[in-house]
Amino acid sequence: MQVKIRPATPEDVPVLFDLICALAEYEHLSHLVTGSAELLQQHLFGPEAFASALLAEVGGQAVGFALYFRNFSTFLTRPGIYLEDLFVLPEFRGRGIGKALLARVAQEAVAKGYGRLEWMVLDWNQPAIEFYRRLGAKPHPEWILHRVVGAELEALARLAEDPYPS
């Protein structure tokens, strides 16, 4: 089995979005997919690219992806990479494809002199947790993810207009 890992191109956006939807289905989060291939195209390949993506192909078929973006560590005072998603279609797992995708993201971080590579894993996804542990990743349970979206995000943004109401 020949696996090819390559950067995604604008022409790959439809298949990449299909893989994102497959990931959401696997994670039981399809109801949270409110984006579109058009928005993905804009944010990956538009004038202000926010993220990068790699595709894994077997026999010309896209079977997995890694989507990531640059972040920054104030303690290291160096950039890093945040891996937003790593996914391989279930029928192609166990063949080293996820490892190859993650290794390519790590290779980019090292080549650019970045200080770290990090990501989140759903607490129920034991196969992923074990996969990452085998590759040397260590969980940080003392850190709790916080998020504001939708109406809460808009309400928080409005506080900037008058942060100290009387």
Q: How far apart are CA 54 and CA 62, in angstroms?
A: 10
pLDDT at 4 exceeding the cut of 70:
yes
Q: Name the DSSP class of 90.
A: G
Residue 163 predicted with pLDDT over 80:
no
Q: Is residue 108 part of a domain?
A: yes
| pLDDT confidence bin for 14, thresholds 50/70/90 | very high
> Domain range holding 54?
3-140
pLDDT at 134: 94
Confidence of residue 36 (pLDDT cuts 50, 70, 90): very high
The answer to the question of residue 145 being in a domain is no
pLDDT at 166 over 90: no
Query: How many folded domains does the chain comprise?
Result: 1
- Within a domain: residue 154? no
Region of 96 on the Ramachandran plot (φ > 0 left; ψ -120 to 50 alpha; else beta): left
Token digits of residue 90: 């279930």
Q: In this model, does residue 119 exceed pLDDT 70?
A: yes
Mean pLDDT of the 126-154 span: 93
CB 109 within 8 A of CB 80: yes
Tell me what the mean pLDDT of segment 36-63 comes to.
Answer: 97
Name the residue type at position 75: F
Instruction: Indicate which residues carry an active-site annotation.
Output: 132
Question: How much of the chain exceeds pLDDT 70, in percent?
Answer: 99
Predicted confidence (pLDDT) at residue 102 exceeds the cutoff of 80 = yes
Q: How far apart are CA 5 and CA 97, in angstroms?
A: 9
Whose structure tokens read 């993220």? Answer: 51
Report the alpha-carbon distance of residue 104 to residue 100 in Å, rounded. Answer: 6
Dihedral of the alpha carbons of 30, 59, 40, 124, in degrees to the nearest 10: 30
Average pLDDT over the chain, rounded to whole?
95
pLDDT at 79: 98
85-94 pLDDT per residue, tens: 999 999 999 9
Task: Answer yes or no: is 164 within a domain.
Answer: no
Strands 52-58 and 78-88: unpaired
Q: Please tell me the predicted confidence (pLDDT) of residue 1.
A: 76
Residue 9 pLDDT greater than 80, yes or no: yes
CATH at 51: 3.40.630.30
Nearest CA to 65 out of 126, 11, 12, 124 is that of: 12
Angle between helices 13-26 and 37-45 (to 10 degrees): 120
